[in-house]
Amino acid sequence: MKDYPLTIPVCQLDEDSYFVGITTADLDPVVKNGHYLIPRLCIEAGKPEYKNGFIPQWNDGQWEYIEDHRGEAVYLKKTGEKRIIEVLGKLPDDVTTLAPLPFTKWSEDAGAWVDVDNADELRLQDKKEKAGTITRSQLLTAIELQFDKNKKELLDIAERELVGDHLIKVRNVISEAQSFTLMNDDMWDFLTQTLNISNEQIFVLWDEAKKNY
């Protein structure tokens, strides 16, 4: 009489026939002809090959490999909103795994996020908003140390170069304001257009003023 092993390895599946792992089936103690008691949701089949990013599924007597992106972060092409994939299968056409940068939009032609039309303007506005606030004293000290122009010289330049409301607002900031932000368009224009200080120089000046003065 042929001897049979007491157990054999079998593949365990979930309710949707996806591979779960390897378990064992016991030899039927009643039927002595090599019949094994296969547990529910198990099959006699070779262990599927491991493929990174895929999960094996038993289908029509063979293993098929289904894309598995569960837990991956994707981004909606329309809005850039972040989502986490929770289901098996190919990624939807309306998402990408590429994270968007601020002030970009998705381009199917480029297969990437590209700048919106006014991206540079928006980035500058965002940088100005994040720069925070400094006092008038910090601002005047930084300008004098870095550009060799004291309060009186700044007022003289403003009186000579500016007119109307623009002059009044700049003069008031230089003379009386307690604090100052880069969102003040009149002072921004005075610094960049009248004093010819570049955007990057202003942000460097700003950081120096906040840290040191």
Q: What would the two tokens of residue 71 be?
A: 């837990």
- Residues 94-116 have pLDDT tens digits of 999 999 999 999 999 999 999 99
pLDDT (0 to 100) of residue 2: 81
pLDDT (0 to 100) of residue 1: 64
pLDDT mean across residues, the chain: 95
Q: For the chain, first and last CA: distance in Å?
A: 97
- Residues 147-184 have pLDDT tens digits of 999 999 999 999 999 999 999 999 999 999 999 899 99
Q: What would the two tokens of residue 121 be?
A: 């303007």
pLDDT (0 to 100) of residue 83: 97
Say what the pTM is: 0.74
pLDDT (0 to 100) of residue 3: 86
Helices (H), the chain: 119-130, 136-147, 151-161, 164-175, 185-189, 199-212
Please state, in angstroms and rounded to a whole number, the distance separating the CA atoms of residues 91 and 125. 35
Please state, in angstroms and rounded to a whole number, the distance separating the CA atoms of residues 127 and 3. 79
- pLDDT below 50 — which residues of the chain? none
pLDDT (0 to 100) of residue 141: 93
Please state, in angstroms and rounded to a whole number, the distance separating the CA atoms of residues 131 and 69. 39
